[in-house]
Structure 1
């Protein structure tokens, strides 16, 4: 790959007027970025205007406005259609790139997807747009296979998703086009997981390096569930769709495990929905009529109560948490 290869940064945004400017500015300062496409996904605030105010007058910023909210998968697909750059990078509207992210990350021809380390920053801190210092980590490149990727997306208790699910890879447009890959617009949860898993099934080379170039802002309520019960149903159905085709045996076992994991979360949420709308007795009858779902329901209720008890026992602090990194890494010599 030559240094002339450029990146389109895609930002799907809804009601992000307080953060979109920082996201746009961090993308525009990157010399390898030829396009920044913001899709205002039916915002009810001044997201589009705030994005425009971060423009640097180079003609690289494009704002697309949707009249109603369609979800990030739909918004990202519209941005991909609008853009032309050979590489595509996803940036969440409340996050930002560290300066120089793409200079080394996108060099080489040995990948179709490439992702780097992420620094998580507590929104209550006084760091501004970036943490005070991000070390230079050794790249230590490695490749994710489908089995490892899916396993890394199975969340542990107390987390909204597996850690690998936070990675924000740069994608080669030619690979997406050759294999007919786009985001599944039926999904409002796990749409990135689904795209990357389908790409790995198509033979994508997914490279991970441990240098840090992406800043993710974490709010105190970041782990609270904001998705709908039906979103969980569509996500495990996406796993079933992949499992309906040819899948290597080891990856099939892991995909099945992920499907059962998401289905269990769905069954618990569905039970709680019935309880909230129709009462405990009707919810109990509902559960008894679904014996296969009982372990997930009982285990989920017990786990939620245990988590709540542990949360009450933890000391409450208004102090921001220190920055932490997604991937373990060793500090290397500064270039």
Structure 2
């Protein structure tokens, strides 16, 4: 089925203590002509996030601001926004990120998709906002195997980042397959939803044009992952594997990703036990879980090697400008 040009977009923004950035995010969403709704859900902030979002209102009647009295996590906030919105297309915008002008025009020009994602420009917090390079769209289809493989860390290579993609999602597909964010998850909730969508046959298109700017911040909430967050991601991925229906070509890479998350959780759990109860408790956990021993030992050695490397390597100033998630040639 071809994409109908008149279809409109609901932009969903889950926000937690985002007073400094939420106004820019809301403004960039309202500036897109294809946007019919912007729904902000304040996830239990203790700053002026809601007031800052309201200050960005353009009086078009498209902005709705909701709030949770306590923090429930981005998955719950996004599900709430989906429930109250009506536009046929759903787009996620993080509260410290921004849409570049013309983003949805480029995406909606592509036919035949259930999910469509574009390139992401990563912006350093200290750098001024600048426009991205112009890339040809070059649309291609992303299947489950390629998506999961693009999220697997490999030694000597940059860690997988395809889970960072921020696709526009067709509401009808989500509803037809009962797809919503798993509310117990605070890490990898996007990745997990996309895996379930692809396992259900979603046509996922990726274009190289860049319409999304992601702010890279040292104190980003998404950069602080708790042990229980890793446990929830590992449990969710095991549940997907147990449900079945995974295409045979994708099954080995999905199992590999699941093992990698399990190994990260085992190492984090070991370090928690050591910090909270001492080395004896940590060793008791490790030897009581022999399957986790290689992950724990390997993780400790890697951490020590990386710490030594950081300590002795020469300081190199970070490159100015934008880094792009998808490799592309400017036009």
Same fold by TM-score greater than 0.5 = yes
SS of equivalent to 2:249 = helix
Kindly indicate whether the alpha-carbon contact (under 8 Å) linking 2:43 and 2:68 is maintained by their aligned counterparts in 1.
yes
The CA deviation string for residues 147-204 of structure 1, in whole angstroms up to 9 with x for no partner, is 1111111234699962111110000000001111101111111111111000001000
Partner of 1:313: 312
Kindly indicate whether the alpha-carbon contact (under 8 Å) linking 1:124 and 1:319 is maintained by their aligned counterparts in 2.
no
- Structure 2 CA distance, aligned partners of 1:292 and 1:12? 38
Q: 1:97 to 1:191 in 2, by over 3 A?
A: same
Partner of 2:138: 140
SS of equivalent to 1:196 = helix
Partner of 2:285: 286
Q: 1:201 to 1:9 in 2, by over 3 A?
A: same
The CA deviation string for residues 209-262 of structure 1, in whole angstroms up to 9 with x for no partner, is 000000011124559951211111111111111111222222111111011000
SS of equivalent to 2:214 = strand
- Structure 2 CA distance, aligned partners of 1:181 and 1:317? 44
Partner of 1:107: 109
Q: Does 2:69 match 1:71?
A: no
- Structure 1 CA distance, aligned partners of 2:11 and 2:259? 34
Kindly indicate whether the alpha-carbon contact (under 8 Å) linking 2:75 and 2:182 is maintained by their aligned counterparts in 1.
yes
Q: Does 2:145 match 1:124?
A: no
- Structure 2 CA distance, aligned partners of 1:54 and 1:286? 51
Kindly indicate whether the alpha-carbon contact (under 8 Å) linking 1:10 and 1:37 is maintained by their aligned counterparts in 2.
yes
The CA deviation string for residues 291-317 of structure 1, in whole angstroms up to 9 with x for no partner, is 100010001111111111122233346
SS of equivalent to 1:250 = coil
- Structure 2 CA distance, aligned partners of 1:45 and 1:169? 29
- Structure 1 CA distance, aligned partners of 2:330 and 2:49? 38
Partner of 1:176: 174
Q: 1:117 to 1:79 in 2, by over 3 A?
A: same
Deviates more, 1:244-253 or 1:186-195: 244-253
Kindly indicate whether the alpha-carbon contact (under 8 Å) linking 2:132 and 2:322 is maintained by their aligned counterparts in 1.
no
Q: 1:54 to 1:161 in 2, by over 3 A?
A: farther
Gaps of 5+ in 1: none
Q: Give the CA deviation at 1:109.
A: 3.3
- Structure 1 CA distance, aligned partners of 2:273 and 2:261? 18
Q: Give the CA deviation at 1:269.
A: 0.3
Q: Give the CA deviation at 1:3.
A: 2.5
Q: Does 2:166 match 1:164?
A: no
The CA deviation string for residues 264-285 of structure 1, in whole angstroms up to 9 with x for no partner, is 0000000000000111122112
Q: 1:276 to 1:311 in 2, by over 3 A?
A: same
The counterpart of 2:200, out of the listed 193, 202, 215, is: 202
Partner of 2:214: 216
Q: Number of residues paired by the alignment?
A: 328
Q: 1:217 to 1:30 in 2, by over 3 A?
A: same
SS of equivalent to 1:249 = coil
Partner of 2:261: 262
Kindly indicate whether the alpha-carbon contact (under 8 Å) linking 1:158 and 1:307 is maintained by their aligned counterparts in 2.
no
SS of equivalent to 2:119 = strand
SS of equivalent to 1:35 = strand
Q: Give the CA deviation at 1:290.
A: 0.8
- Structure 1 CA distance, aligned partners of 2:28 and 2:221? 25
Partner of 2:47: 45
Kindly indicate whether the alpha-carbon contact (under 8 Å) linking 2:106 and 2:209 is maintained by their aligned counterparts in 1.
no
- Structure 2 CA distance, aligned partners of 1:67 and 1:254? 40
Q: 1:292 to 1:167 in 2, by over 3 A?
A: same
Kindly indicate whether the alpha-carbon contact (under 8 Å) linking 1:124 and 1:320 is maintained by their aligned counterparts in 2.
no
Q: CA RMSD in A?
A: 1.9
